[in-house]
Amino acid sequence: MGKKPISKIKELKKYERKIDGSEIPPIYDLEKMGAIHQEIDAAIRPFWENLHPVVQDFITTWNDSWNSLLHEKGEHDSQLRQKANLVANLKSNFENKIREINSEISTLKTDIQAKETEVAQKEHLIQDLESTDKDHKLGISQLRENLESRLKTLNEQLSDRQKKYEETQMQVGQSFQNKVLELDSEIMSLNEQLSEKDAKIKELEDQVKTISKETQKSKFYEEKSAKLEKQLEKIQGMLKIDDEEDVIDENG
For 92-142, write each residue's pLDDT tens digit.
887 888 888 888 888 978 987 888 888 788 777 767 766 766 655 556 677
pLDDT at 70: 85
| Higher-confidence position of 75 and 241 | 75
pLDDT at 176: 73
For 50-74, write each residue's pLDDT tens digit.
999 999 999 999 988 988 888 898 8
> Please, what is the average pLDDT of the chain?
80
154 and 113 in contact (C-beta within 8 Å)?
A: no
Backbone conformation region of residue 29, classed left if phi is above 0, alpha if psi is from -120 to 50, else beta:
beta
pLDDT at 244: 66
What's the topology of domain 20-209?
A: Helix Hairpins (1.10.287)
Taking alpha carbons only, the member of 24, 33, 9 closest to residue 56 is 24
Global pTM reads: 0.44
For 169-182, write each residue's pLDDT tens digit.
788 778 878 887 88
Confidence category of residue 205, pLDDT binned at 50, 70, 90:
confident
pLDDT at 60: 94
pLDDT at 158: 77
DSSP 22: T
CA distance 172 to 183: 16
Q: Which amino acid is at 100?
A: E
What is the rounded average pLDDT of the residues 207-212? Answer: 71
Confidence category of residue 218, pLDDT binned at 50, 70, 90:
low
